[in-house]
Amino acid sequence: MNLENLSKYKKLGLSLVFDAIGMLTIFDIIWAPASGYLMSKMYKGTKGKVAGVISFIEEIIPGFDVIPTFTIMWCLTYVFQKEEETILEV
pLDDT given at position 63: 87
Contacts of 66 (CB under 8 A, 6+ apart): 23
85 has a pLDDT exceeding 60 = no
56 contacts 70 by C-beta, under 8 angstroms: no
pLDDT confidence of 3, banded at 50, 70, 90? Answer: confident
pLDDT confidence of 87, banded at 50, 70, 90? Answer: low
75 has a pLDDT exceeding 60 = yes
33 has a pLDDT exceeding 90 = yes
Inter-CA distances, 8 with 25, 49, 85, Å: 25, 18, 19
Inter-CA distances, 40 with 13, 17, 54, 88, Å: 17, 16, 10, 33
Query: What value does the mean pLDDT take over residues 17-35?
Result: 90
pTM: 0.83
